[in-house]
Structure 1
Amino acid sequence: MEITDATPAEVRVLEAFALGEGVDFRESPDEDPRTGASWGPERTVRAEVLRALLIDGPTRDGEIAGLKLWGARITGQLNLMYGTVEHPVRLRSCHFEETPNLYGAQLRALVLSDSVLPGLTAGALRVELVLRITCSRITGPVRLAGAQIAGAFFANGAELGTPPAADGTPPPDAPDAPGPEAAAEPVLQLNHAVVGTDVWAVGLVAHGQLRLNGATVGGQVNLDDAELSAPGDVALHAETLTVGTDLRAMRLRVRGTLNLSGARIPRHVNLAYARLSHPGATALRASSCVIGELWLREAAPIEGAVNLRRSQLDLLHVPPEVWPGQVKLDGLAYHRLAPHLPAGQRLPLLEREAAGYLPQSYEQLAAAYRTVGDEAAARTVQLARLRRHRRTLPPYARMWGHLQDVTVGYGFRPMRAAGWLLVLLLAGSLAFALHHPPALKSDEAPGFNPVFYTLDLLLPIIGFGQEAAFAPEGWYQWFSYLLVATGWVLVTTVAAGITRALSRQ
Structure 2
Amino acid sequence: MEINDLTPAERRVWEAFPRGDGVDFREHPEDSSVDGAGWGPGRTLRAEVLRALLLGAAPAVEGRVAGLKIKGARIVGKLDLRYAVVDHPIRMRDCWFERTPLLYGAQLKALVLGYSTLPGLTAATLRVDVVLRLSCCRISGPVRLQGAKISGGLFLQGAVVGPVTGEEADEPPLQLNHVEIGTDIIANDLTVHGQLRLNGAVVGGQINLENAQLLAPDGTALQAETLTVGTNLHAARARTQGRLNLTGSRIPGRLNLAHAVLDNPGGIALRASSCTVGEMWLPACEDVRGTVNLRRSQFDLLNMRPGTWRDPLRLDGLTYRALGPHLPAQERLAALETGEPGYLPYPYEQLAAAYRTAGDEEAARTVMLAKLRRHRRTLPRHARLWGLLQDATVGYGFRPLRAAGWLTALLLTGAIAFALQPPRPLKQGEAPDFNAVFYTIDLMLPIIGFGQEQAFAPSGWHQWLSYLLIVTGWILATTTAAGVSRSLRRQ
TM-score above 0.5, yes or no? yes
Q: Please tell me whether the aligned partners of residues 398 and 484 of structure 2 are also in contact (alpha carbons under 8 angstroms).
A: no
Deviation string, structure 1 residues 175-194 (Cα, Å, up to 9, x no partner): xx522x64331111110000
Deviation string, structure 1 residues 454-480 (Cα, Å, up to 9, x no partner): 000000000111111112122221211
Distance 2:138 2:122 in 1: 15
Moved more, 329-338 or 467-476: 467-476
Name the counterpart of 1:6: 6
Distance 1:155 1:107 in 2: 18
Q: What is the aligned-residue RMSD (CA, Å)?
A: 1.1
Name the counterpart of 2:277: 291
Distance 1:29 1:49 in 2: 25
Query: Is residue 250 of structure 1 aligned with residue 236 of structure 2?
Result: yes
Residue 444 of structure 1, CA deviation: 2.2
SS of the residue 2:425 aligns to: coil
Name the counterpart of 1:78: 79
Name the counterpart of 1:16: 16
Distance 2:105 2:308 in 1: 44
SS of the residue 1:56 aligns to: coil
Moved more, 228-237 or 1-10: 1-10
Distance 1:221 1:64 in 2: 32
Name the counterpart of 1:27: 27
> Structure 2 matches for 1:275-424, cutoff 5 A?
275-424=261-410
Residue 2 of structure 1, CA deviation: 4.1
TM-score by length of 2: 0.98
- Which runs of 5 or more structure 1 residues have no equivalent in the other structure? 163-176
Name the counterpart of 1:109: 110
SS of the residue 1:280 aligns to: strand
Distance 2:342 2:238 in 1: 31
Q: Please tell me whether the aligned partners of residues 327 and 353 of structure 1 are also in contact (alpha carbons under 8 angstroms).
A: yes
Name the counterpart of 2:119: 118
Distance 2:32 2:41 in 1: 18
Q: Please tell me whether the aligned partners of residues 291 and 314 of structure 1 are also in contact (alpha carbons under 8 angstroms).
A: yes
Residue 398 of structure 1, CA deviation: 0.9
Name the counterpart of 1:167: none
Name the counterpart of 2:130: 129
Distance 1:428 1:451 in 2: 8
Ranges of 4+ aligned residues in structure 1 off by more than 6 Å? none
Distance 2:18 2:342 in 1: 70
Tell me which amino acid in the other structure corresponds to 2:80.
N
Residue 4 of structure 1, CA deviation: 4.3
Residue 441 of structure 1, CA deviation: 1.8
Query: Is residue 205 of structure 1 aligned with residue 206 of structure 2?
Result: no
SS of the residue 2:307 aligns to: helix
Name the counterpart of 2:165: 178
Q: Please tell me whether the aligned partners of residues 74 and 95 of structure 1 are also in contact (alpha carbons under 8 angstroms).
A: yes
Distance 1:8 1:320 in 2: 66
Identify which of 203, 215, 220 aligns with 1:229.
215
TM-score by length of 1: 0.95
Tell me which amino acid in the other structure corresponds to 2:26.
R
SS of the residue 1:15 aligns to: helix
Tell me which amino acid in the other structure corresponds to 1:355.
P
Distance 1:471 1:385 in 2: 45
SS of the residue 2:456 aligns to: coil
Query: Is residue 493 of structure 1 aligned with residue 490 of structure 2?
Result: no
Moved more, 57-66 or 265-274: 57-66
Residue 3 of structure 1, CA deviation: 5.0
Name the counterpart of 2:96: 95
Name the counterpart of 2:422: 436
Name the counterpart of 1:53: 53
Moved more, 420-429 or 299-308: 299-308
Residue 368 of structure 1, CA deviation: 0.5
Deviation string, structure 1 residues 126-173 (Cα, Å, up to 9, x no partner): 0000000000000111000000000000000100002xxxxxxxxxxx
Distance 1:52 1:308 in 2: 53
Distance 2:357 2:95 in 1: 57
Distance 2:307 2:318 in 1: 19
Query: Is residue 453 of structure 1 aligned with residue 454 of structure 2?
Result: no
Query: Is residue 147 of structure 1 aligned with residue 155 of structure 2?
Result: no
Residue 337 of structure 1, CA deviation: 1.0
> Structure 2 matches for 1:61-76, cutoff 5 A?
61-76=62-77
Identity %: 63
Matched residue count: 490
Distance 2:424 2:201 in 1: 89
Tell me which amino acid in the other structure corresponds to 2:41.
P
Residue 6 of structure 1, CA deviation: 1.0
